[in-house]
Amino acid sequence: MSQVISTFIKQEASSNVLSNIVTLHNGITRNNTYVELAGEHAESHLYGMALTDKTQQVDNFTFIDHAKPNCTSTELFKYVLDDRSSGAFRGRILVRKDAQKTMAYQSNKNICMTPNAKMYTKPQLEIYADDVKCSHGATVGQLDESQVFYLRSRGIPESEALLLMMFAFTNEVIENIRLEPLKERIKELVEKRFRGELSKCVGCAICKK
């Protein structure tokens, strides 16, 4: 199954928006998020997560337009990629000439569980103002084997140790969900996903492979 979702957000003065973008299971997914900070003292926070396996593909594109001064944006996306799946993240932050006193933070962190999993990431800052605080970065790696060994030395089976570490990795995104019932539901679904209990979906051709 293929899915494309586009979200457009325009924020006026002193508004505060939190967006949670979570992809737990699908064939091919593209999430587009466009944010315009069109009023002073607006705040925008994007938190995203993708869990993939088999040959699934998840692509997140974000564009945050700092059009006015004294605005803040925070962006964090995390991926856990297994089997031969692939992920992509391209995040663009534009700080216009008049958008002084901008604060913008962008981060993309990824774990590849197998050598065949692939992640493509491109965080991008485009700054035309001179009085700003902006940073961006990306990491792609594997689970820390020493931490896995530590957990196993405490009597935890390897499968459970891996699950605990993957859940801890994604928890930073989950904890930023403001609605408590939704947060608890996402935690439940993420654990089921890691345990393979959500590995099939109705009508998805990719699940038949």
pLDDT in tens, 106-153: 999 999 999 999 999 999 999 999 999 999 999 999 887 887 777 778
Dihedral of alpha carbons 198, 184, 21, 136, sign: negative
Rg (CA), the chain: 18
pTM of the predicted structure, to 2 decimals: 0.90
Q: Residue 36 CB: number of other CB atoms within 10 A?
A: 19
Token output for 140: 């792609």
If we measure between CA atoms, which residue out of 80, 82, 73, 69 comes closest to residue 41? 69
In whole angstroms, give the CA distance from residue 196 to residue 29: 19
Stated as kind and residue range, the H or E segment containing 22 is: strand 16-23
7-35 average pLDDT score: 96
Distance of alpha carbon 183 from the chain centroid: 15
Is residue 29 within 8 A of residue 201, CB to CB? The reply is: no
> Model confidence at 98, in pLDDT bands (50, 70, 90)?
very high
CA distances from 56 to 22, 84, 118, 185 (A): 15, 8, 11, 23
Q: What percent of the chain has pLDDT over 90?
A: 77
Chain-wide mean pLDDT for the chain? 91
